[in-house]
Structure 1
């Protein structure tokens, strides 16, 4: 059972007992009687507060025929309630000197406000109202559907990189919701109707499937009292179980050759299926994968820039990355752009860089440079109150747990070169690899 499912399974019991608060590190946790989780991170450096409501639903919860529903519903959440008609929500936040917006990911949908600290009740009242009383009309749906289809056209259909990315994801993540785009497939978006949106609202937009994250110049008990005042009266509903596929054995190397008549420069994308913070069986592996990505692509002194760009010169650009904040297995990714059109030379260079990670431990100097850079980036980002809230919400919603944030520095400091090599040997294998190549269509020019 995943952590999310375990929490949801406890909802009936939580509703029968008084809410409890527990402090661990810089975050204070509460649970309302209706199952809503409240996480508060104090930062008193400025009289500012960030409030975010995270729902455990995103594009990976969708199946073919309903792709894009989470993202389209995000648009609908701004269409108003009886008490606050369309436009009134944003007008109030703006009048109070705040900012608001929303975002949808593969594993979550989230809505946020940034306000003066004493204006937090305004944000919570508005969010609670649309959690319980959203109005969905055919007219609003028709408008927002066209907005989303236009967004899809501009970001994906009219861009070679967008078309390539969708095709790559489809073969890189077979059998999971990560195989389809967050924005959805155009034919699914066009077919969604009012009943689909109302059903989505009833299924997922309930306190028992939501986490309120508040960060900034606040008192945890005062936040708890406000959350109980505004969200407490909303009944918690049972949430459907999610039929995620079990982690499959590595399916074998997959390869995509995509020719596009609008691209003039070949691009290479490679990705190894690897665990996330939520799915890892070995606790150190996600942190080792972060460090491996930094060894390859952590600044000008990193291996890919040193060997493929400035060294052999086969690549005009090359990089690597790893994002462990997903609820399913994720990807250790690499990319490259050839300097002279020789995509094979770039692929060979990236494969050799991975093989070296498997073959031998990184040097002490590389290990410390990667460690220092990760810690510096992390501490710099924590300077933002919004980023603090984002990290807490994303870690909790994807199943890693908000406590992971406080343990990040210790976990990075504890890593050895042997940990990195073991993770590379365990996961950076051809059986886990997807290779995607985008190149000009036959007869097209190559720069």
Structure 2
């Protein structure tokens, strides 16, 4: 930890002379309020539009000249910037990243161009994608109060009314060393990284951060439903159940049992949902289950699918719920659970195979309020999940009062081609 409150985490991996350098800011769309949605993501775009030292676009050119690659991403919980570089170039990219933490320029003309790019990004990735539209409607319906109800990219009306001043205010409020975590993973020495961090970031003063209020979600009192009509080839349905997040790795047994339940349903090629609903009963063309308990806010367990010809979305919804009920009633065998956990744990291990993957896992843990020191403990906790725990969570969390259902009602697909996007990268 630097004296100004900036956290530095170094993961030494000496297999190849490469480094992943990441700066994570603990602010995302969860910190936005009505009328300001999309601001965190818009700032991510503006971070490439010049500083007191660099012209717009020069940051990316400098990294490319160093032989590296770079990008950024915004989520509900955080915004992160990264460079992948040969190890001797680490100091150069660290200097670049430190510069834009405090010296970012907010040019009205550059913002006017970039907000058009963002609006086109929204059209391409959400408004023209029926599944994305359903997922957006699902979140807006499931959450009545929590900011997770808003899309990370923002509602179009908010984008149309956003000003460069809004983005500058976001930067001023949240981009500070005491709201940032540096993760460096690769062929480095931790002491040298600390010295470089002190050199380039240690001189910046910390800021007084005004944390947003939690806006806790009120209890749900019955099934919520939403239908989206959009041009699409096939209908689609997704069921979202409100379930516990992972807050305490040592004590939150149910979060790990839900992780394993998700893998029982959809964690490998012959998992239950695909084996039963796609290959045996043939009531679905595609099915899935997903759960991640790592988040700053509330989380949901998702079941989704595309019904086969002759099956309605209502029927597929019942089939999906029936598979949960079957586990709640009959449980899972030790043999099946052992096979599932082997696959699940292998996936946890394989994602650490690259230095960038390790940096990603460290940063996402820290941003959610968990500690990178407990990453290995997660595998131990998954390995310890019992059949009784899996059956218990299947019994406990999948009732009507926790459920939101979003359905896609297909409209005819036209051959009209979308207008070309404006100049500029989609980040």
Category of TM-score, reference length = shorter chain: over 0.9
Q: Could you tell me the TM-score, scaled by structure 2's length? A: 0.93
Aligned residues: 412
| Local SS of the residue matching 2:137 | helix
Of 259, 266, 271, the residue aligned with 2:240 is 271
Question: Which runs of structure 2 are paired with 1:38-437 in the superposition (5 Å)?
Answer: 38-260=8-230, 262-278=231-247, 282-340=251-309, 341-437=311-407
* Displacement after TM superposition at 1:426 (Å): 2.6
Contact 1:279-1:328 at 8 Å conserved across structures: no
Indicate how the Cα distance of structure 1 residues 125 and 251 shifts in structure 2: closer, same or farther if over 3 A, else same. Answer: farther
Partner of 1:27: none
1:230-250 deviations in whole A, cap 9, x for unaligned?
Answer: 000011001111211235334
1:395-418 superposed Cα distances (whole Å, 9 cap, x missing partner) = 101112222312122111111111
Instruction: Report if aligned partners of 1:32, 1:232 keep a CA contact under 8 Å in 2.
Output: yes
Q: Which has the higher contact order (CA 8 A, sep 6+)?
A: 2
Contact 1:361/1:421, CA 8 A, preserved across alignment: yes
Q: CA offset at residue 44 of structure 1? A: 0.8
Work out the CA distance in 1 between the residues paired with 2:49 and 2:216.
Answer: 37
Taking only aligned residues, the RMSD between alpha carbons, in angstroms, comes to 1.6
User: 1:359 deviation in Å?
Assistant: 2.0
Q: Which moved more, 1:76-85 or 1:155-164?
A: 155-164
CA change 1:403–1:178 in 2 (3 A) is: same
Q: What is the TM-score normalised by the length of structure 1?
A: 0.89
Moved over 6 A (4+): none
Whether the 8 Å CA contact 1:279–1:329 is kept in 2: the answer is: no
User: How far is 1:424 from its partner?
Assistant: 2.2
Verify the 8 A CA contact 2:145 2:217 in the aligned structure 1: no
Q: Is the 8 A contact 1:279 1:327 kept in 2?
A: no
Q: Helix, strand or coil: the match of 2:280?
A: coil
